[in-house]
Structure 1
Amino acid sequence: MAYDSSAVIESRVDAPPDQVWFALTDAAALTVWYWPAAMQPRAFSEPVVGGRFGIEAGDMGFAGEYRELDPPRRLVQSWRWAGDDRDSRVTIELTPSGDGTGLRIVHDEVDDDTAAMYRAGWESCLTRLPAYLAATPNAGSR
């Protein structure tokens, strides 16, 4: 099986990069926007290079390791869905965009079918992110 496909998702949110970075790397934040609250997700995150992160809800979940961190601009992490036998890679780039932030997510080192599944998953997650950001305007502020 060829693992040379990728899911590429581009989006923009009305929040500054520091706040979006916080939403992407804070365990409590991930439980609010990543999966629907009805699924009662649990998360952990140690946002340092080599630190682990993950989220689970019922029998679904994923975990990985932070490989690169350049707050609040870029993060690269390994990614393994529960039950998979190999890691994939997620690269998230944040760029200032007016009063908001542009996001570019590349989930690669996967096959075609998995890329399509991850694309749909990321798009679903990103539909909940704006509400979280609007409700927590000071999250990630220094």
Structure 2
Amino acid sequence: MTRIEISRTLAADRERVWRAFTEPNEFVSWFWPPRFQSTAELDARVGGSWRLVSEVAGMGLSGVFAAVDEPERLVFTWRWDGEDEETLVTVTLTPAAGGTVLTVVHERFADDAEADSHLQGWSDCLDRLTDLQRTV
């Protein structure tokens, strides 16, 4: 099994960053590029499901929340539409001077190529979140 870990320090408090991951309108504002015209459904409770879709890009992904410890930690499964592989994501929010340290651990990849692809994807997503941190 392969895993990736990526962190960013954001100039926003944990509660605000938490909402960026748990409120559909906020989530779609940064996760994929705006040109994807994404839509999301998020039921951020243990056993609740989540789904992100871009008809424009022809892709979607979904999962189930395994842990919801507001505003510190989210754990959820991750499955791309049309794929059998299910991976696991853990998002941790730690208070820091002037903001929050956001750490994403994504694990259970079948191989290094999949992990590398997701590392690039998460980097792009989190860069957009950093860009939006003044409004997130």
Q: TM-score range by the shorter chain?
A: over 0.9
Gaps of 5+ in 1: 137-142
* Partner SS, residue 104 of structure 2: strand
2:37 alignment partner, one of 16, 37, 40: 40
* Partner SS, residue 135 of structure 1: coil
Counterparts of 1:42 and 1:130, CA distance in 2? 20
The offset of 1:131, in angstroms, is: 3.3
Runs of 4+ that moved beyond 3 A: none
Is 2:90 aligned against 1:57? no
Q: Percent identity?
A: 35
Q: How many residues align?
A: 133
Q: What whole-Å deviation, never above 9, does each CA across 1:36-69 have from its counterpart, x for those lacking one?
A: 1111001110011000111111211110000001
Counterparts of 1:133 and 1:43, CA distance in 2? 20
Q: What does 1:49-128 align with in structure 2 at a 5 Å threshold?
A: 49-58=46-55, 59-110=58-109, 111-128=111-128
Counterparts of 1:66 and 1:108, CA distance in 2? 15
The offset of 1:21, in angstroms, is: 0.4
2:24 alignment partner, one of 10, 23, 27: 27
Counterparts of 2:27 and 2:10, CA distance in 1? 16
TM-score normalised according to structure 2 size: 0.94
TM-score normalised according to structure 1 size: 0.90
* Partner SS, residue 108 of structure 1: strand
* Partner SS, residue 20 of structure 1: helix
Counterparts of 1:64 and 1:32, CA distance in 2? 19
What letter corresponds to residue 133 of structure 1 in structure 2? Q
The offset of 1:84, in angstroms, is: 1.1
